[in-house]
Structure 1
Amino acid sequence: MRLTTSLFALAAVLAVAAPAAAQNAGQIAQVRNGASCPKCNLFQADLSGLSLSGKNYAGARLRQADLSLSIMTRTSFAGGDLRDIEAYGGLFTGANFGGANLTNASFVGTHLQGASFRGANLTGTNFSGAEMDRATGLTQGQLNAACGDGATRLPGNLRIPAC
């Protein structure tokens, strides 16, 4: 009985000490090869410079992923975890970010024409230089939590605080 208890305790300690699976390398490889991957774990994936238009990443975990200079037109990120992503200079025309968590994301110099942000969390999101004057679903409340600069193009009478 004492040996069983000791083994159980050791197993519990090892389980706590073992690192959590931070990402799914197989899923990242599939995406890098052009696959859609809804609800996938793409944590810290390097997707920079890739052309992945018309794909479905709805509900996926892309936290801390690098999407810089990528072409992801008409791609769905709806309901996804995109906290802390880097999307510098990317092309996201017509992309769907509805309900996504974009906390602290960087869309500096990004093309977001026709992108949907309905219900997205934009807390701390940097839209400096972003072209988004035809984006949809944006509210002043969302933009008050984000930031931009004089080159940020917004729809209608919406405004964004300076970064």
Structure 2
Amino acid sequence: MAAPGTLKSDCSSCFALCCVLLPFSADAGFGVDKPNGRPCLNLLDDDRCGIHTTLREDGWPGCTVFECFGAGQQVSQVTYAGVSWREAGNRGEMGAVLTVMRLLHEMLVHLDEVARRSPDDDAAAARRRIETLTAADPETLLAVDLDEVHDQVGRLLAHASVRVRRRWPDAADHSRRDLAGKRITGDLRGCSLRGALLIGADLTGCDLTEADLLGADLRGAELRGADLASSLFLTQPQVNAAVGDGATVLPDDLARPGHWT
């Protein structure tokens, strides 16, 4: 069992918060449309998923892409001290807190990468501030100015990206470009793909050494044989949404999705 405070999801320590508190739609790969606050039709009384082993086969691929970065168990076991929405009757509040916590945890994931790859005192201070917030009570969490925190962290990540990628002065800048469905060629080492729309794009065999993938939309992107071992700010949900194979090289801290062949 993963302890609260870790940055990877542990459903066994969570009250199925994503299955209850978050809205989802059939168009996004969740089988049916569901409003926030309504338990998923596949949720069992013990907070487990009744079709967990066959989600993709049963038409629920969206569930295999989602990652809360450990926010679920943090909210369940720390913020609400192990008291479930089933007992407390506070689904609405818990849903709002989960949304805040997930964003804070995702920022911690990126700041941890900065600490590993290009340490910076300001980034370390921001991480300490956010970590303190994740241990706060619901009222404090709901009062957080997320825009301010997000903007600060965004600047720190941008500075770190420049420091890491400076050895590629001629690298391409594809930031926020619409590259959906396109075959991406050329030297992508050290390039910026920040916020790029890469839905269904073909990056087969590409070398993405130190390429910045912060916020890139990789849904259905072909990553077969691609080298992402040292790509910047790549997250598990991005990997889960893409298409790879045994030759795709991932960072050590990311898991190879089970649906990749």
Matches within 5 A, 1:71-90: 74-87=171-184, 90=186
Letter paired with 1:105? A
Q: Which residue, out of 108, 123, 127, partners 2:223?
A: 127
Letter paired with 1:75? A
Letter paired with 1:133? A
Partner SS for 1:151: coil
More helix by share: 2
Letter paired with 1:152? T
How many angstroms does 1:151 deviate by? 0.7
* TM-score between the two structures when normalised by the length of structure 1: 0.52
Q: Within the alignment, does 1:151 sit opposite 2:247 as a pair?
A: yes
Over the matched positions of the two proteins, sequence identity in percent amounts to 37
* TM-score between the two structures when normalised by the length of structure 2: 0.33
1:160 and 1:147, CA in 2 relative to 1: closer, same or farther beyond 3 A? Answer: farther
Gaps of 5+ in 2: 1-169
For the Cα contact (< 8 Å) 2:195–2:217, is it kept in 1? yes
For the Cα contact (< 8 Å) 2:224–2:248, is it kept in 1? yes
What residue in structure 2 maps to residue 70 of structure 1? none
Partner SS for 2:239: helix
What residue in structure 2 maps to residue 91 of structure 1? 187
For the Cα contact (< 8 Å) 2:171–2:187, is it kept in 1? no
How many angstroms does 1:82 deviate by? 0.6
Deviation by residue 1:84-119 (Cα, 9 ceiling, x = unmatched):
01125x420001000111000011111110001001
Aligned length: 90
Partner SS for 1:117: coil
What residue in structure 2 maps to residue 59 of structure 1? none
Gaps of 5+ in 1: 1-72
Which runs of 4 or more aligned residues in structure 1 lie more than 6 Å from their structure 2 counterparts after TM superposition?
A: none
Q: Which residue, out of 203, 206, 225, partners 1:107?
A: 203
